[in-house]
Structure 1
């Protein structure tokens, strides 16, 4: 029987997953969940008009500092509770079994929502790439979404090392495109105002809505906590987990802050917000094309697809491990805590997640729900769920 304060496996009993992840593989797997290219192309322009405008680069720095402080305590706790349950294990130990179970199921729902929403988003962007860019056959979004789903179902079943290698490769392509754009803006000396440091001035911090800006920015660091969830699949967890966690926070903070600064400079500090308002969907693509060339823009369009797939694969793997841990503790059916003899993966939990993801799309397709509306709604649920658990974890 499980304890009233701790999950059953805290002392190492029960089924254990196996893997051979190093620090870099763990780092890239987590960073891929943040979808850097999607953030740069789709989120940063939105932050300029819905958040704190020209002060956007500063909120990324502030968010990184806040989350690094939280991560310090989080990592210390993971050493005291060496079990791959993440928020579920930690909140159970601190606030009791009932709250811990609630947090575990809430995070499971959050990552399941991200995975489900990304299948829809992937269907949209892959369909656009095949039909509009490659001039291939036209098909409904759910056909292309099924391609994303099928690949994820197969990779999620296999050893985590393979997923890590694939997400590493995909993320590398994203980072190259962003780095090429950033370098091009610097080499061109910026836009109308040259390279201006004004976006880093505290005077711009409260342009527009600081509260919305900080919420957007903190959301772009999502998934940094999942390194702990892969503890049993990491070669040297006591070293790799802290390095990967702080590495993701630092890399995301620097990347988004620098790129948003250069994007603002490419438009001109005084014209940036107006330029985004005039063409919110195309302004970043136009900036990339102007400074880094058409080839880089085309590469970005292709890599948005691989970025979406990397998010889907990571979310699926994380959700599967929440199912595995809840099953290993007897909360969900024990059959879901099976460990594949060859791959060392939570194959039963992964299959259950794949089936659940497929099932949720049956009414979506039958009722002809608009996929972007579904994507936006289900990501909203994921955001609320994650914030609820975050506040629970920091309440004591």
Structure 2
């Protein structure tokens, strides 16, 4: 644990607490990829995209989303080398757009990962309960009992060395990918329903249905790659490990989602898939899994949806704890939260606090009788739009930092790729705000309230930084792990 400090004391880089770990490219890649929950995306999100998104054009919109985020990742990776700090977006935005915006963004991202964690606890309670009761014919219990199992195990693993979580998520993701591979090979080997058509990749289908909802949902399926930089102190050879893992996740997710969506459309039939999925989205996907992947794929998917959801929770918990750790190390939060476990090298104090905070929110949820699916939809709606907002701010920070520091990077890296990312991210944010009720599953009034919460968190962080600049300049100077 780091040494205690007194008010007003300036903390040098040597005294600043640092986490420890030994993750390689493989473990980091799987940790990030697991956050995307590929099996949940394939079973739960792709059918929804066919219904409310751009229909048969779904595979192509995944490719477009991947290209936009690859353009963003170029500057993100270059910024990580110029600023070798573990604060990720919090550090980058502070360096590029100022400490005020940086602190606001840091609080917003902490809130986003908190939302992902608590939302996944609720969703985990639903899917684990269904598995135990309906599939295994075990005891019937309220959803929050099963959700508490997810919560407790994530809290225990979050306390330990990050390598432990990385190995567990890597193993769970590997099992998910086996199921997806069995299904994909089954569809391609049998030629789908009536031959494999390339129509889903045709630009003519790109604007089937709602392109705006399609791109919005697709973009949300590539989350989590900032974890690569946030775990900087816990990986081997970060200058090589981080770029490999980041680009690997974007490429793997884009290919996996696009190809599997294409094969699913062909498995059901290009001309009939939207109508059939609209009638029974969950049933059609499970029937397709059983028909082309066999009983192994269908039964395994029922189990692995639980492990996939848990992997999301574990990653969100670990990232949220490290955001709290970084804000504590800078003096924004109480310094006690930046304690480091002597054996595990983990931010064990912030992890415990994050675990407790993740439980507290369920007190009013249970008292008010809020349905877990409604809670899950609303809370993840906040996470989706806040992540895109911080992506946009980080991209702007990269452009400004490179110009301010006189970067020797070529115009392609300094201007072209960041502009492509800015246009893509900005348009997606605009579409997200316009269609926020679809993300939250609530009324316009509820959606407006949630948007106000996001804006208030960002503005509150900015205001707090101004206060620190006047009253505690030593803390202000540390904002963004400076």
Establish whether TM, by shorter chain, passes 0.5: yes
Question: After the TM superposition, which residues 192-231 of structure 1 pair with which residues of structure 2 at under 5 Å, given as runs?
Answer: 192=194, 194-231=195-232
* 1:272-307 deviation line (CA, Å, top 9, x unaligned): 111111112211111111111122101100000000
Please, which of 95, 102, 105 is the counterpart of residue 103 of structure 1?
105
Residue 13 of structure 1 and its aligned partner are, at CA, apart by 4.4
Paired residues of 2:75 and 2:395 also in contact (CA < 8 A) = no
CA distance in 2, matches of 1:306, 1:109: 24
Q: Return the TM-score normalized by structure 2.
A: 0.79
Q: Return the TM-score normalized by structure 1.
A: 0.96
* 1:30-50 deviation line (CA, Å, top 9, x unaligned): 000000000000000111111
1:247 paired residue number: 248
Residue 224 of structure 1 and its aligned partner are, at CA, apart by 1.4
CA distance in 2, matches of 1:262, 1:97: 47
Q: Identify which range, 341-350 or 207-216, moves more after superposition.
A: 207-216
Q: How many pairs are equivalent?
A: 388
Please, which of 7, 18, 23 is the counterpart of residue 20 of structure 2?
18
Residue 390 of structure 1 and its aligned partner are, at CA, apart by 1.6
CA distance in 2, matches of 1:174, 1:358: 28
CA distance in 1, matches of 2:231, 2:252: 20
2:383 paired residue number: 382
Please, which of 169, 172, 178 is the counterpart of residue 170 of structure 1?
172
Whether 2:62 is the aligned partner of 1:76: answer no
2:365 paired residue number: 364
RMSD over aligned CA atoms reads 1.2
1:136 paired residue number: 138
Paired residues of 2:76 and 2:395 also in contact (CA < 8 A) = no
Paired residues of 1:118 and 1:311 also in contact (CA < 8 A) = yes
CA distance in 2, matches of 1:25, 1:10: 31
Paired residues of 2:88 and 2:230 also in contact (CA < 8 A) = yes
Pair member with larger Rg: 2
Q: Identify which range, 363-372 or 50-59, moves more after superposition.
A: 363-372
Paired residues of 1:54 and 1:269 also in contact (CA < 8 A) = yes
1:4 paired residue number: none
* 1:309-346 deviation line (CA, Å, top 9, x unaligned): 00000000000000000000000000000010000000
Describe the shift of the 1:101–1:139 C-alpha distance in structure 2 as closer, same or farther (beyond 3 A): same
Residue 112 of structure 1 and its aligned partner are, at CA, apart by 0.3
Residue 10 of structure 1 and its aligned partner are, at CA, apart by 9.3
Secondary structure at the aligned position of 2:337 is classed as helix
Whether 2:337 is the aligned partner of 1:336: answer yes
CA distance in 1, matches of 2:89, 2:14: 17
CA distance in 1, matches of 2:296, 2:251: 29
Residue 123 of structure 1 and its aligned partner are, at CA, apart by 0.6
Paired residues of 1:157 and 1:345 also in contact (CA < 8 A) = yes
Paired residues of 2:51 and 2:278 also in contact (CA < 8 A) = yes
* 1:207-261 deviation line (CA, Å, top 9, x unaligned): 1111211111111001112210000000110100000000000000000000000
1:36 paired residue number: 38
Deviating 4+ runs (over 6 angstroms): none
Secondary structure at the aligned position of 2:87 is classed as coil
Secondary structure at the aligned position of 2:84 is classed as coil
1:158 paired residue number: 160
1:257 paired residue number: 258
CA distance in 1, matches of 2:249, 2:23: 16
CA distance in 1, matches of 2:314, 2:86: 19
CA distance in 2, matches of 1:10, 1:251: 40
1:180 paired residue number: 182
1:3 paired residue number: none
* 1:26-77 deviation line (CA, Å, top 9, x unaligned): 0000000000000000000111111111111111111111101100100000
Give unmatched runs, 5+ long, in structure 1. Answer: 1-7
Secondary structure at the aligned position of 1:195 is classed as coil
Describe the shift of the 1:132–1:10 C-alpha distance in structure 2 as closer, same or farther (beyond 3 A): farther
Secondary structure at the aligned position of 2:282 is classed as coil
Describe the shift of the 1:211–1:236 C-alpha distance in structure 2 as closer, same or farther (beyond 3 A): same
CA distance in 1, matches of 2:274, 2:122: 30
